[in-house]
Amino acid sequence: MRRTAGIRLSLSALLIVGALTGTGAVAAERSSAEQPVAEPALVNALERDLGLSEEQAVERLAQEADAIAVEPDAKRAAAEAFGGSWFDAEAGTLVVGVTDREYAEPVLATGAEVELVDHTQAALDATLVAIDELAGPEGAPEGVSSWHVDPLANSVVVNVVSGAESDAEVAAFLADAQAEGPVEVRSVAGAPQTLAAGTVGGDPYYTGNVRCSIGFSVHGGFVTAGHCGGGGAAVYGWDRSLIGHFQGSSFPGNDYAYVSVGNGWWTEPVVLGWGTVSDALVRGSNEAPVGASICRSGSTTGWHCGTLLAKNETVNYSSGEVVYQLTKTSVCAEGGDSGGSYISGDQAQGVTSGGWGNCSSGGETWYQPLNEILSAYGLTLHTA
């Protein structure tokens, strides 16, 4: 069920150095020509949360920007042999899995590295869908927290809350899941929960007695988490003046919403740094790869950073709701952070859905990818 002996290919391994002279510099040339200087806010946050030096943080942000730019071309080059992709922080490059050695050369030509794997992304996605169907609308047993395709493991990972493995319903679900395809079971420390909160002070938005956080400005409003409010609900700002109303909301299944902005309020292409770091400008919404650094802003815990751990994960919230196609991170969050912004470099990534743990002891969180929200409601991101 694991990758094929972990074989990573290089230009020299394929004896094509001469034929591809200069192609390995594609990403570097693109970065130096197009990428802005690293924002001090992001550099400071990566130093604090990932334990990097200033030089390492600047270098990593540049490498991740390259990986984001290279990924679409690399995926197309891998064609039907595509076995997933991820950012290798140690090597500082995008890695693409392929199931057929013949596709290695065109992928390498894009500037990515290549690793031979056993299963295509399509096969792993099919296994994920089969597990979704096993869970059904009622969700999986309570001890099963989530499941996702892990490109590094080249398998579908099913996460089980520590201590729940011996539960009969959990064991039966895992057995059925493993019969569907390449599945790996992992233990996690906590069960995921949504992160809305009751009314408290701070810089939030309110709907009813729920406090959540603004995600990203779009033309005409902002996006946030769907579990924070239903369609038509009034939304009030930090000063309790009316901002607008939920124009659309989807939860469970999805976890996104769109709020109109008016009544003297306006939108800005900014993510708040909460005094910990400078506010960050939003310049686009290109997706970061697995393994990239990512930061989150929320009205309870402010600004925190971590690593993008998995994409397209199905989350079985402890309150009974199932949400599909979320992205998992190592960033902490707490109640009231729901709906807040995830950003990688200057690229908007998504809005906070839920998590487990807290910002004292640590934990994991999930976000609803932004581009799906923009597409669902026909919105345009407000960019700097």
Cβ–Cβ under 8 Å, residues 225 and 338: yes
Catalytic residues: 227, 255, 338
Taking the CA atoms of residue 114, residue 132, residue 355 and residue 308 in that order, the dihedral angle to the nearest 10 degrees is: 10
Residue 240: CA count within 13 A, CB half-sphere: 5
**Residue 351 tokens, joined:** 């809005």
Of the chain, the end-to-end C-alpha distance in Å amounts to: 45
- Which residues, in sequence order, are CB contacts of 19 under 8 Å at separation 6+? none
Cβ–Cβ under 8 Å, residues 250 and 376: yes
**Residue 188 tokens, joined:** 């996690």
Cβ–Cβ under 8 Å, residues 160 and 185: yes
Burial class (CB in 10 A: 0-12, 13-18, 19+), 320: exposed
Distances in Å between the alpha carbon of 177 and those of 171, 172, 231, 240?
Answer: 10, 9, 35, 48
Cβ–Cβ under 8 Å, residues 300 and 334: yes
Q: What are phi and psi of 75, to 5 degrees?
A: -65, -45
Query: What's the gap between Cα 285 and its chain centre?
Result: 12
